[in-house]
Amino acid sequence: MEDLCSVEKYEEAKKLMFDMAYHGSKAQPVNFGVLMNDLGKRGKVEEAKALLHEMKKRRLKPDVVTYILINYLCKEGKAMEAYKVLLEMQIRGCVPNAATYRMVVDGLCQIGDFEVGLSVLNAMLSSRHLIVWLLAC
């Protein structure tokens, strides 16, 4: 799937994933992540969000890689929406990594929402990712 996406054959990659599911091979979060990453790179964030919704319908548990969507939302100036996805991620039992926290904090600060950015930073600092954050500075 990744190879298909790399040569701009997203529709074929998507078809492959859904064909696999049709033939009894359960699509994995990583498959959705590959497609979402490709969509995000091409500026099709709404389609990437639709794939996340499809994952939920299939009762697949998104992983931190699947939440690459957060990065693309922040890049489009939709940091508050990215923050909501971060919260949903945590509710679903997916522990954000330092990079995910950092994307949201940076995005919120870029749109001037320092109060929410500080609350995300405080949440990250109380998690196990403090050292990783400090090393990234």
| Per-residue pLDDT at 127 | 72
Per the document, the length of the chain is 137
- Tell me how far CA of residue 66 lies from CA of 32, 112, 130, in angstroms: 7, 26, 22
| Per-residue pLDDT at 80 | 96
pLDDT in tens, 34-67: 888 888 988 989 999 998 888 888 888 877 777 7
What letter represents residue 128's amino acid?
R
| CA-closest candidate to residue 64, choices 103, 26, 38, 27 | 103
| Per-residue pLDDT at 63 | 79
Residue 23 placed within a domain: yes
The count of structural domains within the chain is: 2
Pair 124, 130: CB distance under 8 Å: yes
Ranges of residues in the chain whose predicted pLDDT is under 70: 1-7, 10, 13, 21-23, 128-137
Identify whether residues 83 and 135 lie together within a single domain: yes
- Residues 6 or more apart in contact with residue 75 via CB below 8 angstroms: 40, 107
Domain of 108 in residue numbering reads as: 78-137
